[in-house]
DNA sequence: CCAATAAACAGGGAAAATCCCCTTTCCATA
DNA sequence: TATGGAAAGGGGATTTTCCCTGTTTATTGG
């Protein structure tokens, strides 16, 4: 751990006025310093690939043209998994939050930001590696309880991989090979999921997975 | 046709500053008058369902929290098909434009709006019932030519219905019944599409349909 | 520690659905 | 009349789906 000063922050936000005031706010915190702006995901990629000094934290707006927050978060988690992403967004609906969390985002803030909250969030991101507001924790909890149709959405790791693979043109046999399991085991997963999720066939599974953001197109 | 004055316009737009300047601009046109604002789709529903004097035209922002432009357009086309919707959006990518057009939007404007263009658009909406910028016409044309993978995306009506039904939990037999065709004909559609679209199975079709926005979740 | 229980994993077998290649019929229309 | 598309069909291979059984591997309570 290094001294608690001069942690670097990047901002990706479409609304330039808002972004600028954010920057001022952040720079007023002694430990943090904004090192760059980007107005969308593409712009961010360029900036990151150009410079060699990377920010430790990135504030990421979800609503952006060109390359939105979801795509950007995905790219960051793949290419720079060590950068902690704090998502900013107007929407506080469960789906959106889950979508971002699944893409490896480390924190989530609604956009009407109080200085103290932002400060707390940045602090916790640094110290604990994540920040969860009550709203987010609530969502996490909620996602583990039955959905509107009374289905349990708590999947085991293997089930989740199966679902993802089933949402492709792969055959069940091929899925079995990929997961290094017997085709019969795969069939077990399938049958169990169909029953639990009350779906009739593989198309149903694909649709379910998409609706619940278990997979992305 | 009634005299060319005082056509009513509704605005649905998140960015309140922008929306307000839009309103001023529109009210400066002699023939048009803004009768209400809504800050998102839900808000719009309430306003529409409350009042009985409906706008003839609605300017609809695509990027909105809570209930976005796509959903809103869908709702409007189902519940108020006679209201002409002019979509406003930052993004000018083909997919987005097509998505809105498929939802019955009558015109599409990029958001950096020149007063004359807006005026033209409103005029044409009233006179011809639609407004197409060069960009949109271009997109329409483009959508009928082969896609990135060299596939032809020009579907006949029956094929389109088949695709949509195939993206559900229905069986091919059931689809045949619904479309009042022999199962063998359906099988013909299936086989032909698989070949043309270079896909392996029904899941592939679902994914294709979603990517091309032929269906919505 | 051991038995009871649960779970993940694997198999057999059969019916249904999907997938594929090919032919025939019908009909519009150039 | 010829051409081409849409609809319908035959027949067979493959895959999916379903139900039931059995084995192995934790896990937990006594």
pLDDT at residue A106, rounded to an integer: 80
- Under the banding of pLDDT at 50, 70 and 90, the label for residue B136 is low
Chain mean pLDDT for chain B: 79
pLDDT tens column, A69-89? 888 888 888 788 888 888 888
Which 3 state secondary structure label does DSSP give A11?
strand
Q: Which of A65, A203, A204 sits opposite B90 (nearest CB)?
A: A65
Most confident of A167-171, B19-23, B83-87: A167-171
pLDDT at B166 over 90: yes
**Is the pLDDT at A138 greater than 70, yes or no?**
no
Cβ-defined contact of B65 to A90 (cutoff 8 Å) = yes
Per-residue confidence (pLDDT) for residue B176, from 0 to 100? 93
pLDDT at A23 over 50: yes
| Mean pLDDT value of segment A24-48 | 84
pLDDT, averaged across chain A: 79
What is the Cβ-side half-sphere exposure of residue B208, based on CA atoms within 13 angstroms? 24
Q: Is B129 left (phi over 0), alpha (psi -120 to 50) or beta?
A: left
Which residues of chain B (113-152) touch nucleic strand D at CB < 7 A? none
Question: Are B66 and B41 contacting, i.e. CB atoms less than 8 angstroms apart?
Answer: yes
Residue A170 has pLDDT above 90, yes or no: yes
Question: Span A52-73, mean pLDDT?
Answer: 84
Q: Which of A47-61, B82-96, B102-116 has the lowest mean pLDDT?
A: B102-116
Residue–nucleotide distance: A183 CA to D2 C1' (Å): 53
CA distance linking residue B166 with residue B172, whole number of Å: 7
Query: Rounded to whole angstroms, how far apart are CA atoms A201 and A186?
Result: 14
Q: Cα separation of B145 and B151, whole Å?
A: 8
A112-124 confidence digits (pLDDT tens):
566 666 777 777 7
ipTM over 0.90: no
Strands B107-110 and B57-61: unpaired
Interchain pair B203, A169: CB under 8 A: yes
In the predicted structure, residue A5 carries a pLDDT above the cut 70? no
* b/e B176-215 (16+ beta carbons within 10 angstroms → b): beeeebeeeebeebbeebeeebebeebbbbbbbbbebbbb
pLDDT in tens, B17-72: 667 777 877 887 877 888 888 888 888 888 888 888 888 888 888 888 778 888 88
Q: Which two tokens stand for residue B95?
A: 């997919």
pLDDT band at B2 (very low <50, low <70, confident <90, very high): very low
**CA B46 from centroid of its chain's CA atoms:** 21
| Strand D closer than 7 A to residue B188 Cβ | yes
Q: Do A93 and B167 touch (CB under 8 A)?
A: no
Question: Is the Cβ–Cβ distance between A213 and A95 less than 8 Å?
Answer: yes
CB distance A169–B204 less than 8 Å?
A: yes
pLDDT at residue B1, as a whole number:
38
In this complex, the residue of A66, A93, A204 whose CB is nearest that of residue B169 is: A204
Least confident piece of the model among A24-28, B40-44, B54-58, B191-195: A24-28
User: How confident is the model at residue A1, as a pLDDT?
Assistant: 38
Q: Span A180-189, mean pLDDT?
A: 93
* pLDDT confidence band for A95 (50 / 70 / 90): low
Alpha-carbon separation of residue A82 from A1, A67, B23, B61 (angstroms): 15, 21, 46, 36
DSSP string, B136-200: HHHHHHHHTS--TTS------HHHHHHHHHHTSS--HHHHHHHHTS-HHHHHHHHHHHHHHHT--
Domains, chain B: 7-143 (3.40.50.2300), 157-211 (1.10.10.10)
Give me the pLDDT at residue B53, please. Answer: 84
The pLDDT, as a whole number, for residue A154 is 73
Cα gap B185→B148, rounded to integer Å: 29
* Alpha helices (H) along chain B: 16-28, 41-50, 69-79, 94-102, 115-127, 134-143, 157-166, 172-179, 183-197, 202-211
- Suggest the residue from B90, B166, B194, B209 to mutate for an interface test with chain A (most A CBs closer than 10 A): B90
- The pLDDT score that the predictor gives to residue B173 is 94
Q: Do B200 and A169 touch (CB under 8 A)?
A: yes
Q: Grade residue B140 by pLDDT with cuts at 50, 70 and 90.
A: low
Within 8 A of A110 by CB-CB distance, chain B residues are: none
Closest chain B residue to A90 measured between Cα atoms? Answer: B65
């Amino acid at each position: 751990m290094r001294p608690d000063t001069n942690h670097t922050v990047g901002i990706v936000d479409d609304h330039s006025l808002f972004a600028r005031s954010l920057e001022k706010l952040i720079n007023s915190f002694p430990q943090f310093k904004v090192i760059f702006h980007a107005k969308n995901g593409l712009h961010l990629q360029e900036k990151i690939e150009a410079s060699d000094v990377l920010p430790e934290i990135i504030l990421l707006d979800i609503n952006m043209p060109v390359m939105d927050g979801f795509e950007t978060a995905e790219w960051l988690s793949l290419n720079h998994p060590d950068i902690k992403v704090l998502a900013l967004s107007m929407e506080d609906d469960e789906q959106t939050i889950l979508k971002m969390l699944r893409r490896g985002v480390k924190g989530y803030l609604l956009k009407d930001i109080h200085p103290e909250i932002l400060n707390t969030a940045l602090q916790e991101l640094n110290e604990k590696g994540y920040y969860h507001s009550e709203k987010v924790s609530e969502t996490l909890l909620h996602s583990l309880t039955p959905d509107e149709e009374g289905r349990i959405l708590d999947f085991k790791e293997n089930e989740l991989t199966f679902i993802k693979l089933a949402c492709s043109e792969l055959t069940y046999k091929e899925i079995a090979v990929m997961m290094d399991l017997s085709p019969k085991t795969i069939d077990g997963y399938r049958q169990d999921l169909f029953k639990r999720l009350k779906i009739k066939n593989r198309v149903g599974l694909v649709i379910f997975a998409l609706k619940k953001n278990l997979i992305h197109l």
